[in-house]
Structure 1
Amino acid sequence: MSLEPFNLQLFLAINASPMAHLSTIHLAIFIANDLLYLIPLFLLAYWATGDHIQKQIALKSVCVALLALGVAQIIGHVYPHPRPFMMGIGRTLIYHVPDPSFPSDHMTLFSSIAVTFLLSRKYLIGWVIFIMAWIVAWARIYIGVHFPFDMIGAFILSISIALLMEPVWKKIGDQFTQLFIYLYEMTLGRLLKINKAN
């Protein structure tokens, strides 16, 4: 069996059936659309409350994620694989713009953050976000806006970018973090101090 038929079969096995319970559908839609917002909130909190090492990890994870998402956009333009609903396959439970599905931006973001934390030996946080990544992957397939290979491709892309970033970050990470700490203290940090004073 070639990869594309297997991808379609796997999608149909995960995608919501006509008999799917309404509560499961609502849960999947929430996970697919809204769990994403926890990532920037977590990274902001991790940065704001952390020491220099935590700040560096938070910044590195953002850099890895942005780079991976940029590469994902290029892949989507070079290889514009249609989404399931664009092919008339399965059930689609939410509206989505008919843009390329491969690789998944959601999975790219979650995986990039998870892998960066794991490589930084922050195993508990890394594994929690890793599990979240695959829960989101299930949800987005379940509601019909992605294929399984969109998620696997995004995961492989995220690992590749994170590993490529490691030697670069060892050279520039400390200086880059110091720059962002300075910018943070001159902008948001100063505003927070003013608010506390009032």
Structure 2
Amino acid sequence: MTVTMLALNERIFLLLNASAHPQGATVSLANFVSSDLVLGVALLLVALWAWGNHDKRAALLATAAATVVALGVNQLLGQLWYEPRPFMVGLGHTLAAHAPENSFPSDHGTFVFTVGLALIATGASWRWGVLVSAVGVAVAWARIYLGLHFPIDMLSSAVVAGACSGLAAAFRRPVGHFAPFANRIYDQSLDLLRFPPAWFPRTRNRA
């Protein structure tokens, strides 16, 4: 990364990072978006599997597989390039606690962007995919605002997500062969736990 890029990265960070006297409501919103909303995206995948269109489950499996690959790519990139977090170099204002570790790329950003883009690419859910992708933009802002990441971390996450969402579309057909097996395991687990079919529909009941 060139000196010019690093300088631009820091300049944009300072523009988006919280001020010395931020408004409490904005800080609360950023904390909610940066953590709780990310958890919400994970729960959305569970909800789409349990109560969504069962014919889309192969696409959901491909989305999940692509997300795992994307997070693995993050780990590889983290080994190739080390970037301290803003608070580790005394830059900006930090409004959330975080371990002093590599900032590049952002796992939170990669997770949300990959889920959103993969939902679109696989055809699992275009509307939810657009919404989750928008959440990814909000997560990027929140984590920069809180002083946890630089803009380049979030941008790299979006690039990784874009590449892996393309893989998700390619994964759909081969992963689809495992969908019937996954459905059986899911149905049997629900039966074993005695979850009521009215609340947790079984796949076999829709055949």
Q: TM-score, normalised by structure 1?
A: 0.91
Q: Which amino acid aligns with 1:196?
A: P
CA shift in 2, pair 1:37/1:150, >3 Å: same
Q: Per the alignment, in what secondary structure is the counterpart of residue 151 of structure 1? A: helix
2: CA distance, partners of 1:26 / 1:45: 26
- In the alignment, structure 2 segments of 5+ residues that lack a partner are 198-207
Residue 143 of structure 1 pairs with residue 146 of structure 2:
yes
1:110 Cα deviation (Å)? 0.6
Structure with the bigger percentage of helix? 1
Q: Report the secondary structure of 2:178's partner residue.
A: helix
Q: Is the 8 A contact 2:63 2:122 kept in 1?
A: no
* Counterpart for residue 135 of structure 2: 132
RMSD after superposition: 1.6
Give the ranges of 4+ consecutive aligned residues of structure 1 lying more than 6 Å apart after TM superposition.
Answer: none
Deviation at 1:94, TM superposition (A): 1.1
| Alpha carbons 2:122, 2:169 under 8 Å: kept | no
Would you say how many aligned residue pairs link Structure 1 and Structure 2? Answer: 194
**Structure 2: distance between partners of 1:97 and 1:70:** 20
Does structure 2 retain, via aligned residues, the 8 Å contact 1:31–1:136? yes
Does 2:170 align with 1:161?
Answer: no
- Taking structure 2 as the reference length, the TM-score comes to 0.88
CA distance in 1, matches of 2:81, 2:64: 25
Amino acid corresponding to residue 27 of structure 2 in structure 1: I
- Cα distance in 1 for partners of 2:155, 2:26 equals 23
Confirm or deny: 8 A CA contact 1:83 1:98 kept in the other structure.
Answer: yes
Report what 1:29 is aligned to.
31
Percent pairwise identity: 32
- Three-state SS of the structure 1 residue aligned to 2:196 is helix
**5+ residue gaps, structure 1:** none
Instruction: Indicate if the aligned counterparts of 2:122 and 2:168 stay in contact, CA closer than 8 A.
Output: no
